[in-house]
């Protein structure tokens, strides 16, 4: 679930205090209203009357993991192609029309989903609903447009990945961690496969996956289900579903048999660093509270400046300028845990990695203290409290969670389930996950002298 990611662990101390004193019911996430159209479109409505504004999101249950092998990047490609027009909307007109009406928009892709959103005044909601419904089934683009946009994506990859040594190493590490599972393929795609993408394959992908019975409409803001239902029916209800949607079954990797390592050197590297990634369970693959326990366990290990890694390496031993860990527990096909650290000048990566291993070994041996457990759960609960103040955050939480196999109840009950995690549960998940034989360690370094 989105709240389990390390990005949510940066909230102010006042929120932690709120979490400590608020009763459990006050920390529950709001329960949205839901309904489903006859064509299979799932609709989620999160009412927020504080301002005459709405966030309109369409989540497609398709992402980079659903691409045919050898055609990586095609899911992300549609972030671009979906703005190229339909019979009724000219190329680029979608974005211009939203901007003319004072709105904002964007799109994003993961391995598990692709999402498009607009934030706009309530009285302009029908405008974006009509345009979004139109491009769900009626997208058009020429050969020239396809070729031009493919070049744009190739350049995007060069700027974001190929010119970023850390990103290059991250791709290599993930490919080693998932040698067969599609999570080992970058979302943006491999460069040589992007260059080979063809228009017909793209259209086949679009016609299969971009359908109402493969989508979730999330609307958060100044509206309720009674008001939204006739609008959803008017604009989305007429769209035809895809018959016999493909099953989202992915090849599984064999068990790991030993630790893996890579070293990546680049002249752009000024500060050496080390990182490690482990395979892990996720909210879609766990049983009971396993993923909740893992989120808590990794929060204790490296989720903040009060964590084990930061206190030991940065504050006490003073051999690192940064150190931390994060759990990515939201994947439909599983998750991962990452650990990273950057040494101070004069400390080698050998020394730093040995110190990281010592902290992890002590944690797995002794487990967390009750104070650490309480602090980690309060920090994560504070993130839930904070998210309630943003309609965009709530729309993202519910949309991403539903697209990745969770239910409304899973989301609503998440804060309570986090609070229920015991010390033994957290320690068990840490021991099951932080296994060196199921990891990839990477060293990022400048070129060797003389190169």
Give the DSSP H or E segment for 423: helix 423-433
Cβ atoms within 10 Å of 257's Cβ, excluding its own: 8
For this structure, is 79 an active site residue? yes
How many whole angstroms separate alpha carbon 334 and alpha carbon 372? 26
How far, in whole angstroms, is CA 144 from its chain's centroid? Answer: 32
Q: Report the SS3 class of residue 351.
A: helix
- Taking CA atoms, 103 is separated from 55, 98, 100, 383, 394, in Å, by 10, 5, 7, 27, 18
Catalytic annotation, pick one of 67, 79, 118, 149: 79
- Residue carrying structure tokens 């990047």: 73
How far, in whole angstroms, is CA 185 from its chain's centroid? Answer: 15
Which residues partner with 285 through β-bridges?
Answer: none
How far, in whole angstroms, is CA 97 from its chain's centroid? Answer: 28
Q: Report the SS3 class of residue 47.
A: strand
Question: Quick one: which of 451, 398, 123, 88 has its CA closest to 265?
Answer: 451
How many whole angstroms separate alpha carbon 411 and alpha carbon 420? 15
How many whole angstroms separate alpha carbon 318 and alpha carbon 74? 45
Token output for 194: 């992007």
- Taking CA atoms, 281 is separated from 85, 105, 138, 331, in Å, by 40, 32, 38, 8
- Taking CA atoms, 42 is separated from 28, 217, 416, in Å, by 23, 6, 26
Q: What is the dihedral of CA 355, 359, 362, 367, to 10 degrees?
A: -170
Residue 121 neighbours by CB under 8 Å, 6+ apart? 52, 53, 54, 101, 102, 103
Q: What is the dihedral of CA 75, 80, 82, 86, to 10 degrees?
A: -140
Cα angle 19-25-30, degrees, rounded to a multiple of 5: 95
**Active site residue ranges:** 79
């Amino acid at each position: 679930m989105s709240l389990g990611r390390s990005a949510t662990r940066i909230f102010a101390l006042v929120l932690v205090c709120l979490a400590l004193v608020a009763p459990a019911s006050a920390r529950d996430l709001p329960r949205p209203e839901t309904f489903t159209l006859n064509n299979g479109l799932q609709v989620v409505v999160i009412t927020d009357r504080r301002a005459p504004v709405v966030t309109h999101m369409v989540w497609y249950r398709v992402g980079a993991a659903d691409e045919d092998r050898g055609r990586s990047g095609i899911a992300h490609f549609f972030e671009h192609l979906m703005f190229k027009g339909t019979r009724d909307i000219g190329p680029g007109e979608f974005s211009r029309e939203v901007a003319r009406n004072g709105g904002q928009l964007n799109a994003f892709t993961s391995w598990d989903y692709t999402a498009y959103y607009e934030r706009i005044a309530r009285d302009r909601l029908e405008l974006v609903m009509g345009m979004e419904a139109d491009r769900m089934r009626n997208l058009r683009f020429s050969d020239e447009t396809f070729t031009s946009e493919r070049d744009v994506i190739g350049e995007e990859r060069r700027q974001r990945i190929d010119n970023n040594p850390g990103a290059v190493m991250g791709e290599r590490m993930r490919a080693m961690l998932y040698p067969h599972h599609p999570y080992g393929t970058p979302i943006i795609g491999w460069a040589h496969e992007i260059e080979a993408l063809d228009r017909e394959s793209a259209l086949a992908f679009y016609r299969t996956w971009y359908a109402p019975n493969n989508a979730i409409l999330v609307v958060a803001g100044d509206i309720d289900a009674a008001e939204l239902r006739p609008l959803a029916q008017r604009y989305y209800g007429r769209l035809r579903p895809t018959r016999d949607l493909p099953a989202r079954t992915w090849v599984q990797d064999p068990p790991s048999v030993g630790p893996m390592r890579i070293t990546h050197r680049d002249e752009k590297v000024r500060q050496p660093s080390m990182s490690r990634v482990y395979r892990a369970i996720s909210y879609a693959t766990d049983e009971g509270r396993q993923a909740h326990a893992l989120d808590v366990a990794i929060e204790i290990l490296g989720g903040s400046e009060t964590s084990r890694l930061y206190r030991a390496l940065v504050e006490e031993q003073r051999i690192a300028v940064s150190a931390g860990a994060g759990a990515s527990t939201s994947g439909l096909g599983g998750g991962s845990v990452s650990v990273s650290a950057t040494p101070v000048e004069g400390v080698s990566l050998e020394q730093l990695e040995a110190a990281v291993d010592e902290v992890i070994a002590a944690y797995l041996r002794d487990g967390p203290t009750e104070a650490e457990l309480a602090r980690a759960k309060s920090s994560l609960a504070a993130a839930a409290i904070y998210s309630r103040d943003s309609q965009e955050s709530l729309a993202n939480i519910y949309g991403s969670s539903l697209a990745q196999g969770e239910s409304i109840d899973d989301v609503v009950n998440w804060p309570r389930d986090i609070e229920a995690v015991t010390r033994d549960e957290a320690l068990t998940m840490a021991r099951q996950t932080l296994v060196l034989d199921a990891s990839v360690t990477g060293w990022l370094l400048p070129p060797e002298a003389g190169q």
